[in-house]
Amino acid sequence: VNDADVPAASKALCQSCNAPIIWTVTAAGKPMPVDRAPGGHGDTAANLKLTVVGGVVRSRVLAAHLAFGNTSLHLSHFVRCPQSKVWRKPSQYKRRSTPR
Ligand SMILES: [Zn+2]
């Protein structure tokens, strides 16, 4: 997603580590903080494709074979946030085995 396309209301700073994040909505309708800087992992299920629909940033998990080498993907902030174990709720982050 282009940074310019992200609604200002969706941009924030992580309250734990102060990193720039984007608040997104997952396929399950749950809020999910994502690192604002693009860059995925080749080896994790946390590669997210972001799309802006009606002013809401939606995040979708891509399968590893689709995500590999794709530099426009974003990574869930849960992966890198040093405080994620403190504030992350397991129910907000479920791995999806089948991509949409
Ligand atoms: Zn953080």
Each residue's pLDDT tens digit, 34-79: 999 887 555 556 788 999 999 999 999 877 777 777 778 898 898 8
CA of 62 to the centre of ligand 1 (A): 22
* Separation of alpha carbons 4 and 6, rounded Å: 6
What's the whole-model pTM score?
Answer: 0.75
Among 26, 29, 35, 31, smallest CA distance to 1 is for 35
Give dist(CA 67, CA 10) in Å, integer.
Answer: 23
Q: How many residues appear in the chain? A: 100
64 CA from centroid of ligand 1 (Å) = 24
Q: What is the pLDDT of residues 58-68, one digit of tens each?
A: 999 877 777 77
Cα 74 to ligand 1 centroid, rounded to whole Å: 14
H or E element at residue 48: strand 47-53
- First-to-last CA distance in the chain? 18
